[in-house]
Amino acid sequence: MRYLAFIAVLTFAVFACGGETPSENGASKKTTPKKKKKKVDGEKVYKQYCVTCHGVYGDMGASGAFNLTESKLTLDEKIEVITNGRNTMTPFKGLLSEAKIKAVAEYTEKLKK
């Protein structure tokens, strides 16, 4: 009986540890699905970090926040301001990734009147 249990456990272990396929040169290579790079949702990041001062529509102006509906900044200038801050605005370079900063800057373009 112990012999059959040992064989069952050994068989299970062999199949459980599988998942490798041989490559062209004979070496084994793990087959893992490639992860797709997710696009950052600028609106979601904006609502999480920016809405407190700028408001949902970008025109709240709390704590001296600039009215984003009237912004004349280019996309690169917006990225610069979000990254390094300006006046009373805190810099977000230590808090948000470059991709998130760019996504927020792109989203603010939609807030213009």
User: pLDDT tens for residues 26-80?
Assistant: 555 555 666 677 899 999 999 999 999 999 999 999 999 999 999 999 999 999 9
**Residue 81: partners with Cβ closer than 8 Å, 6 or more residues away:** 73, 89
Taking domain 42-109, whether its CATH number is 1.10.760.10 is answered by: yes
Strand partners, 29: 21
Domain boundary assignment for the chain: 42-109
| Residue 24 per-residue DSSP state | T
pLDDT for position 113: 82
Average pLDDT taken over every residue of the chain: 83
Residue 89 in this model has a pLDDT that exceeds 70: yes
Q: Is the pTM higher than 0.85?
A: no
pLDDT in tens, 42-54: 999 999 999 999 9
